[in-house]
Amino acid sequence: MLVGTLVYGFINSSILALLAMGFNLTFGISGVANFAYGAVYIFAGFLTWIGLNSFGFPYLVSVLLSVLCTIVLGILMYYLIILRVKGLALSEVMATFGLGLAIMELFRYFDFVGFRYTLPVFFDGSLGIGPVFIDYQRLIIAIIAVGLTLFIYLFTHHTKIGLAFRAIAQDERTALTFGIDSDFIGALSMAFGSALAAVAAIVILPLGTIAVEGGYEVLINALAVCIVGGLGSTVGILVASVVIGFAQTFTANYLETHWMMLVSLIAIAAVLIIKPSGLFGRQKELEERI
Amino acid sequence: MKKRKERIDRGIKARSEDIFALSSYREMLYLLLPRAIPVVGLLLFTPLLSSYWQEVLISTAVYALLAISWDMLISAGLVSLGQSLFYGIGSYIAGALNHYWGWSPLFTIPAATVAGGLVCTAMLLPVLRLRGIYFAMVTLVLPLMLLRLVEATRILGGTEGLTGLDPFPSQLTALYVIQVALLAGLFGFRRIIGSDYGLIIRAINDNDRAVLSAGLNIHWYKTQVLFLGASVGAFAGAFGTHLDMFAGMPGFALDYSIMPVASAVVGGMGTFAGPMLGAFILVPLSEILRALGTLRIVFYGLFLVVFVVALPEGLFHYAQRKYHQFERWVEVEK
């Protein structure tokens, strides 16, 4: 029982980390809290499904197409909406939230509801680790979560665009004097965030069905991880996803599944009250509270 | 030859603004007309509507109350994304009093208004020091948390809720109760914000540190504003619960959080009349669009986006400007 809980706790943590990565990247670089994140995630999932089942494309083609479309959606969202209200935190939140609502409910309107909306797993079968059996898909999730974390670390530390990302995040004005176009980088950060959401959707969604409600849950989970870990901090979200992931799995196993969502909500509330910038966030005393 | 638009206050505005001895009917009407429209419109003409539209109007008024409660909070710089907290708490208190102890709506609604205001204020008190988006996120999370708590602990009827509560004697009673409450809230809040006390509240929104350094206890003021806003929201919840004869988890639904924000954005924040106007546009519109099913939520979302991006001042500010000022094109000086 305990071994199983630990293994599934680790996998739950990887899922949370995958979900939060895109949200965190966009926020960390351009400071945009993308409340349409859950909608982007669902969008990618349904697009892959449409590619596979309505058009009959091969798996790889429909995955690539859906990631590409999600990236385009992110860029359009940045230039058409976010850029016009940039810096007004509340307006950003309301505009992206409204758009996310519109996207998700549009899917509901076109009747994308039911058990037939599932994505295929990568490989069938499962693996026994001691007394616990885990299917390959969950293993792949853990591997991809670790791989993407490494990729993002290498990308932001060793490529020109990655360094530009970090420059904008650290000090936008100084970065501007070095010829880094903050609007373009902002759009790129949005594109990256959307792409990460799409990858997360394609990897995680085969575990269940694609549902519109899932979008809200994804947003709350991503928010929970980012707030607890500290918005914009990569180490923070890794630690937070481990903490919340294990806490959720333990409550689900030893208490009841009803309490699972409550864990992340309590974590959010507690962190916001005690240290609003999160466990690893940079403290911005006067912006947070007075 | 470049031109720019110049806006100048109308003469009648300047004349009727400060001088209290009004000298003509024109000036009196200028002041009275905008205020009389909601009063006369609501109290005299709504009973003439069909029963169905009266019902729509009642739910519109409930949302309008939540919207002006939101506007009260924003006047002190408190951004709430969880008006459903107030609605849900109010509805559960009224429902429990009625269900377990059999109090009549005549007592449950006032009790829920005050108690709901106190409970919500107490719940948000620890985070009142948070600013901007941090406060907003807590308010977004709290109703969801309570929802899950009710689900997990099965208190207060659990997922089924409290059913079979006392209804209002008639639809017309309900209509008048909510309309009078709405008008009282609207004019009361406008009065409060217009007074010296309101000046402090608005100053907290503009620059809280300046107010702090003037030796005023901003946390105490914020607590008072929170109580005012929360009680109005709790009243809406208590009213809604007797209207539906049901108190339950839908009270914490996202609808009650989104609609007030959307109304305020469409109508124009900080004026109380604006959010009310917004609610009176959005809720009936959503009723007309009911045939479209969930597509109307798509429209809400897009409405929100378009107004936030293209017309951030909102309809009421725009109308107010046209009413008080005239515009003309003037040449730009070299």
Mean pLDDT across the stretch B152-166?
A: 77
The pLDDT assigned to B313 comes to 83
Q: Contact, B65 vs B236, CB < 8 A?
A: yes
Contact assignment for A287 to B262 by CB distance below 8 Å: no
Mean pLDDT across the stretch A177-203?
A: 90
pLDDT winner (highest mean) among A46-50, A68-72, A245-249, B303-307: A68-72
Q: Whose CA is closest to B151, among B227, B249, B250? A: B249
In this model, does residue A105 exceed pLDDT 80?
A: yes
Q: Contact, A233 vs A278, CB < 8 A?
A: yes
Range of lowest pLDDT (A43-52, A236-245, B132-141): B132-141
Distance CA A5, CA A1 (A): 6
DSSP A55: S
Facing residue for B302 by CB, picked from A98, A256, A268 = A98
> Looking at per-residue confidence, does B179 or B246 come out higher?
B179
Type of residue numbered A243: V
Contact assignment for A84 to B309 by CB distance below 8 Å: yes
Distance CA A231, CA A223 (A): 9
Type of residue numbered B129: R
> Looking at per-residue confidence, does A211 or A231 come out higher?
A211
Identify the closest residue of chain A to B209 by CA–CA distance. A290
A285 pLDDT band, cuts 50/70/90, is low
Query: Which chain A positions have a beta carbon within 8 Å of B209's beta carbon?
Result: 286, 290
B233 pLDDT band, cuts 50/70/90, is very high
**Can you say whether residue B158 is alpha, beta or left, with left for phi > 0 and alpha for psi between -120 and 50 degrees?**
left
Distance CA A236, CA A223 (A): 13
Mean pLDDT across the stretch B203-224?
A: 91
Range of lowest pLDDT (A54-58, B306-310, B330-334): B330-334
Contact assignment for B304 to A100 by CB distance below 8 Å: no
In this model, does residue A29 exceed pLDDT 90?
A: no
Residues of A (247-276) whose Cβ lies below 8 Å from B: 256, 258-259, 261-262, 265-266, 268-269, 272-273, 276
Q: Contact, A70 vs A47, CB < 8 A?
A: yes
Mean pLDDT across the stretch B198-202?
A: 92
Query: Which chain B positions have a beta carbon within 8 Å of A33's beta carbon?
Result: 133
Range of lowest pLDDT (A210-224, A272-286, B241-255): A272-286
Give the count of beta carbons closer than 10 Å to the beta carbon of residue B317.
17
Average of per-residue pLDDT values in chain A: 84
A83 touches chain B (CB under 8 A): no
Facing residue for B305 by CB, picked from A33, A81, A220 = A81
Contact assignment for A273 to B131 by CB distance below 8 Å: no
B309 touches chain A (CB under 8 A): yes
In this model, does residue A288 exceed pLDDT 70?
A: no
B22 pLDDT band, cuts 50/70/90, is low
Percent of chain B with pLDDT over 70: 99
Q: Whose CA is closest to B308, among A38, A88, A32? A: A88
Query: Which chain B positions have a beta carbon within 8 Å of A82's beta carbon?
Result: none
In this model, does residue B263 exceed pLDDT 80?
A: yes
Mean pLDDT across the stretch A104-109?
A: 85
Facing residue for A227 by CB, picked from B137, B300, B309 = B137
Mean pLDDT across the stretch B195-222?
A: 91
Give the count of beta carbons closer than 10 Å to the beta carbon of residue B67.
36
Percent of chain A with pLDDT over 70: 96
B133 touches chain A (CB under 8 A): yes
Q: Contact, A85 vs A35, CB < 8 A?
A: no
B32 touches chain A (CB under 8 A): no
A101 touches chain B (CB under 8 A): yes
Cα torsion B213, B215, B217, B221: sign: negative
Q: Where are the domains of chain A?
A: 2-117+132-211
Query: End-to-end distance of chain B based on CA atoms, in angstroms?
Result: 10
Type of residue numbered A189: S
Mean pLDDT across the stretch A241-266?
A: 81
Complex-level ipTM: 0.79
The pLDDT assigned to B303 comes to 82
Torsion on CA atoms B78, B79, B84, B90, rounded to nearest 10: 10
| CA angle (B212, B218, B219) in 5-degree steps | 135
Distance CA A175, CA A216 (A): 35
Q: Contact, B163 vs B96, CB < 8 A?
A: no
In this model, does residue A216 exceed pLDDT 80?
A: yes
Q: Whose CA is closest to B272, among B320, B309, B326? A: B320
Give CA separation, A263 vs A62, A227, B140, B250, in Å. Answer: 36, 14, 15, 21
CATH numbers and ranges of domains, chain B: 3-16+58-331 (1.10.3470)
The pLDDT assigned to B235 comes to 94
Mean pLDDT across the stretch B13-24?
A: 72
Query: End-to-end distance of chain A based on CA atoms, in angstroms?
Result: 47
B261 touches chain A (CB under 8 A): yes
Contact assignment for A98 to B79 by CB distance below 8 Å: no
> pTM for this structure?
0.84
Facing residue for A289 by CB, picked from B131, B152, B262 = B131
Facing residue for A95 by CB, picked from B138, B299, B309 = B309
Facing residue for A91 by CB, picked from B81, B148, B312 = B312
Contact assignment for B261 to A258 by CB distance below 8 Å: no
Mean pLDDT across the stretch B136-163?
A: 80
Q: Contact, A166 vs A178, CB < 8 A?
A: no
Distance CA B84, CA B66 (A): 9
Identify the closest residue of chain A to B219 by CA–CA distance. A290
Contact assignment for B129 to A272 by CB distance below 8 Å: no
3-state secondary structure of B20: coil
In this model, does residue B141 exceed pLDDT 70?
A: yes
Average of per-residue pLDDT values in chain B: 86
Distance CA B179, CA B47 (A): 11
In this model, does residue B86 exceed pLDDT 90?
A: yes
Backbone angles phi, psi at B200, to 5 degrees: -65, -45
In this model, does residue A206 exceed pLDDT 70?
A: yes
Question: Which helix (H) or strand (E) is A60 found in, with range?
Answer: helix A59-80
A90 touches chain B (CB under 8 A): yes
Percent of chain A with pLDDT over 90: 12
Type of residue numbered B204: I
Range of lowest pLDDT (A68-77, A102-111, A114-123, A268-277): A114-123
Give the count of beta carbons closer than 10 Å to the beta carbon of residue B254.
17
The pLDDT assigned to A283 comes to 60
Distance of CA B284 to the CA centre of its chain: 16
In this model, does residue A267 exceed pLDDT 80?
A: yes
Identify the closest residue of chain A to B295 by CA–CA distance. A109
Q: Give the model confidence (pLDDT) of A7-16 as tens digits.
A: 888 888 888 8
**Can you say whether residue A209 is alpha, beta or left, with left for phi > 0 and alpha for psi between -120 and 50 degrees?**
beta
Identify the closest residue of chain A to B212 by CA–CA distance. A290
Sequence-separated (6 or more) residues with CB below 8 Å from residue A72: none
Residues of A (23-82) whose Cβ lies below 8 Å from B: 33, 81
Q: Contact, B302 vs A98, CB < 8 A?
A: yes
Query: Which chain A positions have a beta carbon within 8 Å of B133's beta carbon?
Result: 33, 89-90, 93
In this model, does residue B155 exceed pLDDT 80?
A: no
3-state secondary structure of A129: strand
